């Protein structure tokens, strides 16, 4: 290793002792409503999470990410915050949160929580004040504007959830902007007082022991001050399910001043040694992700959507996404997920409906090894270690406001938010003693934690093994990546850190394929799933070889 400044070097050339904890970390996402219910009301809560942290720690992950648990009317299930600095009673109390932090840290788990800076609930005191007192302290904390002369909204911007991104308010006789639900008014991120208030919120949680933040929809924080109309998207053969999809979102997201506020966030995080990951979506996401994570004074990483909505898992999709983040000094560090609370379960998305249990088992194992071999931070979504499938929620049971508004064109997010099955034979899968807020999947009981916990052939056992394997190999945590073969089903790439070089070989298709001629047939795999190794590549299999 060289004696140059660590940050002036590519990550793969830095001293392992200088690497921060979060670099190459595996982070487990917990959706509080659906993880574990401790008080029998059918909704998960903070004490339920605390009671099951031993399971999370047993996986070998580095941290947990908690989706919102703040005080909220729950119009968008916590992403409409009415008090940033308190716990909604449905989830517990601040004391419950403190107990969760204490146990997590005792188990060696860092805690990351969501921060929703682009919008609040319309019941937040800031918005109530802004609506009722236009000349008051909070009068310009939100994006308000007069109508056009004929009474129409100030711009043509459309909401993600459908319909105009403007709602008329008779009290102020103005429109307010909302890029999501009308109950989620847009904060005026340009306002220095708003920025300071958000930084104060972050400091509140850092003082309680939080180790970092996932910043929700960060590129929606500021809008064009001139409220210019978005231009139309060019013609496309792809079906468009929302008015939002008909526009190029040039003026209601991705404002050029957002990085200035990111610098303030970064400075605060540095005081606490805290970690930041941004959620960045949209057609300009890659440029914004790199901009927001460039250098040492911005965010640590950004959460990629490349796989969350991909229709198929192919070598070309993997190579295209990973190659966008080269191992060069100054280039940001990526984060990857195959599943989360907003995207359909990957097994159901990437396998045909007629796939049998054996095919799902093999695919789940291959998918897990592949994810853990990628260069970047890895996010696992609760139940992914069990191989949970997407649940088909009938319309009458839907909770997701986006799916209800766009029925039947938008796939419900509820199908990936169903309760975590803890017990194969327990009431409601061991999640609750009361009817859960969403139904459990019919096949999820057989995949429950207690059904897999002691089974050496289960995906849960395999996940623990593979996570331990990743931790013991610097090339997988921090190494550069180079793709060597990208074919219809065959994927071969190498990971290199210092003197360690690993070859990651996968068959992403259902049929056996030929072993690559460039690799020795008798090489003994360091790790293998699906029977891959020593000249054999069955369908949905993979292995890691010493290079």
How confident is the model at residue 6, as a pLDDT? 54
Do 229 and 276 reside in the same domain of the chain? yes
Q: Does residue 177 lie in a domain region?
A: no
Residue carrying structure tokens 């190579």: 319
CATH number at residue 495: 2.60.40.1180
pTM equals 0.96
Do 498 and 392 reside in the same domain of the chain? no
* CA separation for the pair 470, 60 (Å, rounded): 10
How confident is the model at residue 7, as a pLDDT? 64
Write the pLDDT tens digit of every residue in 48-58: 999 999 999 99
- Retrieve residue 247's tokens: 């526009």
Do 522 and 391 reside in the same domain of the chain? no
Task: Provide the percentage of residues in the chain whose pLDDT is more than 90.
Answer: 89
Do 467 and 484 reside in the same domain of the chain? no
- Which of 88, 211, 216, 414 is the catalytic position? 216
- Retrieve residue 430's tokens: 């061991």
Write the pLDDT tens digit of every residue in 104-143: 999 999 999 999 999 999 999 999 999 999 999 999 999 9
How confident is the model at residue 216, as a pLDDT? 96
Do 370 and 313 reside in the same domain of the chain? yes
Average pLDDT over residues 320-338: 95
How confident is the model at residue 1, as a pLDDT? 38
Do 336 and 485 reside in the same domain of the chain? no
Q: Does residue 160 lie in a domain region?
A: no
Do 359 and 455 reside in the same domain of the chain? yes
How confident is the model at residue 3, as a pLDDT? 41
Residue 492 domain boundaries: 480-546
Do 507 and 424 reside in the same domain of the chain? no
Q: Does residue 155 lie in a domain region?
A: no
- Retrieve residue 238's tokens: 């792809």
Do 235 and 330 reside in the same domain of the chain? yes
Q: Does residue 185 lie in a domain region?
A: no
Q: Does residue 56 lie in a domain region?
A: yes
| Count of CB atoms situated within 10 Å of the CB of 3 | 6
pLDDT at 4 over 60: no
Q: How many domains does the chain have?
A: 2
CA distances from 42 to 185, 340, 375, 387, 418 (A): 29, 21, 38, 23, 11
Q: Quick check: is 358 catalytic? A: no
* CA separation for the pair 80, 119 (Å, rounded): 7
Give me the DSSP letters along 249-307.
-SSSS--TTHHHHHHHHHHHHHHHT-EEEEE--STTHHHHHHHHH-SSSS-SEEE--TT
Q: Does residue 182 lie in a domain region?
A: no
Write the pLDDT tens digit of every residue in 469-527: 999 999 999 999 999 999 999 999 999 999 999 999 999 999 999 999 999 998 899 99
CATH number at residue 324: 3.20.20.80
pLDDT at 174 over 60: yes
Write the pLDDT tens digit of every residue in 420-432: 999 999 899 999 9
Q: Quick check: is 216 catalytic? A: yes
- 426, 447, 471 — which closes off a domain? 471
How confident is the model at residue 237, as a pLDDT? 83
Do 348 and 305 reside in the same domain of the chain? yes
Write the pLDDT tens digit of every residue in 265-290: 999 999 999 999 999 998 899 999 99
Write the pLDDT tens digit of every residue in 72-114: 999 999 999 999 999 999 999 999 999 999 999 999 999 999 9
* CA separation for the pair 517, 494 (Å, rounded): 16
Handedness of CA 41, 43, 47, 48 (dihedral sign): positive
- Which of 96, 279, 400, 414 is the catalytic position? 279
pLDDT at 2 over 90: no
pLDDT at 225 over 70: yes
In the structure, what pLDDT confidence band is assigned to residue 5 with cuts at 50, 70 and 90? very low
- 471, 493, 513 — which closes off a domain? 471
- 438, 471, 504 — which closes off a domain? 471
Do 374 and 500 reside in the same domain of the chain? no
Q: Does residue 462 lie in a domain region?
A: yes
Do 529 and 457 reside in the same domain of the chain? no
Write the pLDDT tens digit of every residue in 358-410: 999 999 999 999 999 999 999 999 999 999 999 999 888 888 888 878 787 67
Q: Does residue 449 lie in a domain region?
A: yes
Measure CA 227 to chain center.
30
Look at residues 80, 74, 159 and name the one whose alpha carbon lies nearest to residue 114.
80
């Amino acid at each position: 290793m060289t004696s140059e400044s660590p940050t002036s070097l590519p990550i793969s050339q830095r001293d392992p002792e200088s690497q921060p904890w979060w670099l190459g970390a595996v982070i487990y996402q917990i959706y509080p409503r659906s993880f574990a219910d401790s008080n029998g009301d059918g909704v998960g809560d903070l004490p339920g999470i605390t009671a099951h942290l031993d399971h999370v720690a047993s996986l070998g992950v580095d941290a947990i990410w908690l989706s919102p648990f703040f005080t909220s009317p729950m119009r968008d299930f916590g992403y409409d915050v009415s008090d940033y600095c308190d716990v909604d009673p449905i989830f517990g109390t601040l004391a419950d949160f403190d107990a969760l932090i204490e146990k997590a840290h005792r188990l060696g788990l860092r805690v990351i929580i969501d921060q929703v800076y682009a919008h609040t609930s319309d019941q937040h005191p800031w918005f109530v004040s802004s609506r009722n007192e236009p000349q008051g302290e909070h009068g310009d904390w939100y994006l308000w504007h007069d109508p056009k002369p004929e009474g129409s909204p100030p711009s043509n911007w459309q909401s993600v959830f459908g319909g105009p991104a403007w709602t008329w308010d008779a009290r102020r006789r103005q429109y307010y902007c909302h890029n999501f639900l009308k109950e989620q008014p847009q904060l005026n991120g340009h306002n220095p007082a708003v920025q300071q208030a958000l930084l104060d919120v972050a400091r509140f949680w850092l003082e309680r022991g939080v180790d970092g933040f996932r910043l929700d929809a960060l590129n929606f924080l500021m809008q064009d001050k001139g409220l210019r109309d978005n231009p139309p998207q060019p013609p496309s053969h792809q079906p468009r399910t929302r008015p939002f999809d008909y526009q190029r979102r040039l003026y209601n997201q991705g404002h050029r001043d957002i990085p200035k506020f990111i610098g303030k966030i970064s400075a605060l995080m540095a005081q606490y040694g805290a970690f930041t990951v941004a959620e960045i979506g949209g057609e300009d996401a890659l440029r914004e992700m790199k901009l927001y994570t460039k250098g040492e004074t911005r965010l640590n990483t950004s959460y990629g959507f490349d796989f969350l909505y991909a229709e198929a898992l192919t070598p070309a999709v993997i190579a295209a996404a990973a190659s966008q983040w080269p191992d060069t000094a100054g280039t940001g560090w990526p984060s990857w997920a195959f599943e989360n609370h907003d995207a359909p379960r990957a097994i159901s998305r990437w396998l045909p409906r007629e796939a049998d249990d054996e095919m799902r088992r093999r695919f789940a194992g291959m998918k897990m090894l592949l994810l853990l071999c990628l260069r970047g931070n890895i996010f696992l979504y609760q139940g992914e270690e069990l191989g949970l499938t997407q649940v088909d929620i009938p319309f009458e049971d839907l909770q997701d406001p986006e799916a209800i508004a766009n029925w039947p064109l938008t796939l419900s997010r509820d199908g990936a938010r169903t309760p975590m099955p803890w017990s194969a034979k327990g009431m409601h899968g061991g999640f609750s003693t009361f009817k859960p807020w969403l139904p459990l999947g019919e096949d999820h009981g057989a995949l429950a934690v207690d059904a897999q916990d002691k089974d050496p052939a289960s995906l849960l056992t395999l996940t623990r093994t593979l996570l331990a394997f990743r931790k013991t190999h610097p090339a997988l945590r921090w190494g550069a990546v180079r793709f060597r073969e990208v074919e219809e089903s065959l994927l071969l790439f190498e990971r290199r850190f210092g003197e360690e070089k690993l070859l990651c070989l996968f068959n992403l298709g259902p049929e056996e394929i030929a072993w690559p001629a460039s690799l020795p047939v008798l090489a003994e795999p360091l790790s293998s799933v699906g029977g891959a190794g020593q000249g054999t590549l069955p369908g949905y299999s993979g292995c890691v070889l010493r290079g």
